Structures are given as structure tokens and as C-alpha cells.
Amino acid sequence: MRKIKRRTFLQSCAAGMGGILAGGTAPYFFTRSIARAAEGATIKVGILHSLSGTIAIIESSLHNAELLAIEEINAKGGVLGKKLQPVVEDPQSMVQVFAEKAKKLLLEDKVVAVLGCYTSASRQSVLPVFEQHNGVLLYPTLYEAQECSKNCFYTGAVPSQQLDDFVPWIINTLGRKKFYLIGANYIYPKETNREVKALLHKHGGQTVAEEYSPLGATEFSTNINKIASSGCDVVFSDLVGDQIVAFYKQYREFGITAKDIPICSPITTEQEIAAMGPENAAGHYTSFDYFQSVGTPQNKVFVDRYKARYGKNAVTNAVMQAAYFSAFFLAQAIEKVRSTDADALIYEGLPGQEFLAPEGLVKIDEKNHHTWLWPRIGRANEQGQFDVVWTRKNWVRPQPWVPYLYPNKTCDFSDKRVVERLKKPWSQEKDRSGTINM
């Protein structure tokens, strides 16, 4: 009996496993052959956001926003009479896989452009791939700037758009001058704080301390002790991800209220507030170009559609909004040049493209591939949303190189010297940046 049992067990296991594998690979070949047959009838757009791993929570929300935008574009008839077909890849929160998948999207799927990446690390890992194979990347995250790649369009805010008004506002309106800077120990916080310090210097503020905690560290009691005894009157935080949740919680548990020492941040979104519980964030400030509570008619439609598609409790945030409107930028650009050629999109299609986004009218700068946005300041309320306490009257031009830190540098893709350099093939000239020294 045992013999038969064992054998049948083995056989069924093998069969089951084979079945699972076959079932797994079948859709791959199936979709591939469908894709081949349908080639020409659709325009492929790559979606490159982690659906598994440590940053999957925030990245899958960007993935969702982009899919929503593509659905809306297709519902309106698509682009050039063709439907946009999203090609989804999961880079698993690992930079190597980001680079690998980017290569796959460009070389094997031959997508017209990729909407993707969230962290600076992932963007930096895929940029060489995009530059080498001349692809188009639309990158939605606020980031540290000081970069401009020919093949990348940056639809998130640069520090100057978030800080140039925020820091003086904290000093003048809140009347708080002594800043305690705390951030995660990597490129984004370091670069952002460099600008904060320059602005403090310019507007008569003062840096009490500057601290960096290891990425992923979620124990802040020593830091909070130091904050309490430092004599600062505002904390400027560029902690990221789970750190934000831990820091705000421990801050409140320690007993410091937002009235005593408010936390001001250029990166804390509705997403993190939902994770930490609204009571922990209430009263603290964030500077962004978009909040879910922004009162434009477009935003109401966006939030409603998003909730209808992904559930009542889904929240939107600035990065998602940028991911959402970058898909429209792309569709309009293809429509404009009537082509899916990368160079046509890069030189003519995308620069200067305007779109009435949830935050207001946004535009890709003609010269530097970054985006004109509407700076706002929000104070977190008890419902986990932001009350917009200040909105700029006009949109703000993106400046990847801020003049008060880098007076000799600028980014201009229409400049002759840059065009000259970019005309050469990649194998001869690997510098694909639009940065020039004046």
C-alpha cells in the first residue's frame, strides 16, 4: 500500500508542479503571441513600479494611478486612433531588477515610453539604460534635483519648488527661526538640507542641528530627546517611508505637540499619515504641489474616479498625481508629433506640453525637462487630510540647479552646446545630460 501511495504521491506532485509551471508560462507565450498579432493596433507603454518588496505600498499606488490614466485615455479613443497598452513589470524594490526590467521594456517590448521609478536609487539605476538605448522615462517623484538627463522627464517637484516659499513662510508666518534638521542618510535628504541651509542663511534663520539616521532605522527616542533639549522651535524632517510613521508617532508619545515644535516636511504625504493615524500628524506642516484636499474641479473628478476604481478608503497624494498626469503628457506628446519615435518625443513632443491636472495647469519646461507646478503648504488635520493654508498665486518654474547654490550651472536642452553633444551617438558621447556650465 505504502509503495503505491508514495508513487502516486510523487507522480501527482510532479504533475501538479508541472501543471503550475505550465499554467504559469502559458499566459506568457499566449500574451506574447497576442501581442505580436496585435502589433500596430496598440501603442505600448511600460509601467515600472515595484509591486513586491519594501517600497511596494507607495509604488503600487503610482502604478494604480498610471493605469487609471491610461484607462481614461483609452476611453476617450486612445492616441492616434490606437489604444495605449500598458506593459507591467515588477522590479521587486531592487535596483538591479529595475535596470533589468527597464532593459526588457525597451529592447524586447519596444515600448514607446516608460512611466516608472520612485526612489532616486531606482532612477539612477535605470538612467544609463535609457540613455544607452534612447528610451523615454517619465519620473513622477519629487527628488533632490541637480540632474537633467535627455531621456528623462521629471514630473515631480524639485526642492526649489517646495522650499523656496516654504522656508521663508516658516520663518515669517510661523515666526520660527531655529531649525532642527533630521533626515535619512542618503542622497535625497542630504541634497534637500543643503538647500534648506542655504535658504536659512538667506532669510535669517538658523540651523540648530543637522542629523541623519540610517535608512530603515525606526527608533528615534535619542533624536527626540535631543530635539527637546536643543532649543529649536521647528523640526525640518526629510525622513522617508516607514521612518516617517515611526518618527511622528514617537514624537507625539514623547509629549511634544505641534504647537510647541511643529514638524515641517517636504515629503510626508497623506499615505504616511494614513499609516500612522491622523492624530499623530495633526498640526504638522507639509509643502507640496498637490494635496488630496485641493479644491479644483479636476481634483474632485480625479479623487472620485480613483476611489471608484480602487476602493472608498484609497487616498491620493502628490506623487500619484504626478504619475497620473505624466500619462496624459505622454499621450498628448504622441498626438502632437504623430509618431512614437523617441527623439521626436524628446525634442518636440514632450517639452512645452501642458495639461489641466488635479493641482491646476501644469507644463513641462521647454528647456530643462522638469515641470511647472503650484507650490502649496498644508497643515495636517484630524481627518488625515491637509488643510491648505497657503497657495502660491502663480505656478513656479522648475530649477534643477538653484541659482543661490549653483550660480554657474543651468540645464538647457535647447542650448547649442548641449544639442551638439547629444547629436553624437551614445558610443562616442555618453554624457546625455543637459547641464552646462556658464
Partner 1 sequence: MSGIALADAITKKPVRRVRRTPMLPRWALIGGAGVVALIGSYPYYGSNGYMLSLLGKFLCYAVFALSIDLIWGFTGILSLGQAVYFGVGAYFVAVSLKLNYTLTHPTRYGGKIPDFMEWNGLTAVPSFMAPLMSLPFAIVCALVVPTLLALLFGVITFKRHIYGVYCAVITLAESLILQDFIIEYQAYTGGFNGITDYSNYVGAAFLWFILGVTAVFFLTGRVLTHSRLGTVLKSIGDNDVRAEFMGYNVANYRIFVFCVSAFMAGAAGAMYAAWVGLVSFLDTGPVYSVEAVIWTAVGGRGTIIGPFVGAFLVKGAEFFLSGTLAEWWQILVGGLFIFVVLVLRDGIVGTIANWVRRRSAGSFRQIAQEADRKAHDRQRDWQAEGATRHGEEAR
Which residues form the interface with partner 1 (CB under 8 A)? Answer: 3, 6-7, 10, 13-14, 17, 20-21, 24-25, 27-28, 31, 51-52, 87-90, 92, 94-96, 99-101, 103-104, 107-108, 120-121, 124-125, 127-128, 133, 146-147, 185-187, 190-191, 214-215, 409, 430-431, 433, 435, 437
- Shortest distance in whole angstroms from residue 435 CB to partner 1: 7
Residue 185 or 221 having the CB closest to partner 1: 185
Q: What's the min distance (Å) between Cβ of 97 and partner 1?
A: 8
Is the CB of residue 110 less than 8 Å from the CB of residue 36? no
Is the CB of 25 or the CB of 257 nearer to partner 1? 25
Q: In whole angstroms, how close is the CB of 105 to partner 1 at the nearest point?
A: 9
Nearest distance from residue 34's CB to partner 1, in Å?
11
- Pick between residue 98 and residue 285 the one whose CB is nearest to partner 1: 98
Q: Which helix (H) or strand (E) holds 97?
A: helix 95-107
Closer to partner 1 by Cβ: residue 25 or 414:
25
By C-beta, is 159 or 375 nearer to partner 1?
A: 159
Minimum CB–partner distance for residue 247 and partner 1 (Å): 18
Instruction: Yes or no: say if 365 and 400 are a contact pair by the CB < 8 Å rule.
Output: no
- DSSP per residue, 280-327: HHTT-EEEES--TT---HHHHHHHHHHHHHH-TT----HHHHHHHHHH
3-state secondary structure string, the chain? CHHHHHHHHHHHHHHHHHHHHHHHHHHHHHHHHHHHHHECCEEEEEEECCCCCCCHHHHHHHHHHHHHHHHHHHHCCCECCEEEEEEEECCCCCHHHHHHHHHHHHHCCCCCEEEECCCHHHHHHHHHHHHHCCCCEEECCCCCCCCCECCEEECCCCHHHHHCCHHHHHHHCCCCCEEEEEEECCHHHHHHHHHHHHHHHHHCCEEEEEEEECCCCCCCHHHHHHHHHHCCCEEEEECCCHHHHHHHHHHHHHCCCCCCCCEEECCCCHHHHHHHCHHHHCCCEEEECCCCCCCCHHHHHHHHHHHHHHCCCCCCCHHHHHHHHHHHHHHHHHHHHCCCCHHHHHHHHCCCCEEEECCEEEEECCCCCCEEECCEEEEECCCCCEEEEEECCCCECCCCCCCCCCCCEEECCCCHHHHHHHHCCCCCCCCCECEEEC
Please state the closest distance from residue 282 (CB atom) to partner 1, in A. 31
Cβ-based nearer residue to partner 1, 56 or 209: 56
- Cα angle vertex 236, ends 230, 238, to 5°? 125
Between residues 117 and 331, which has the closer beta carbon with respect to partner 1? Answer: 117
Whose Cβ is closer to partner 1: residue 273's or residue 323's? 323
- Cβ-based nearer residue to partner 1, 177 or 190: 190
Q: Which is nearer to partner 1, 120 or 339 (CB)?
A: 120
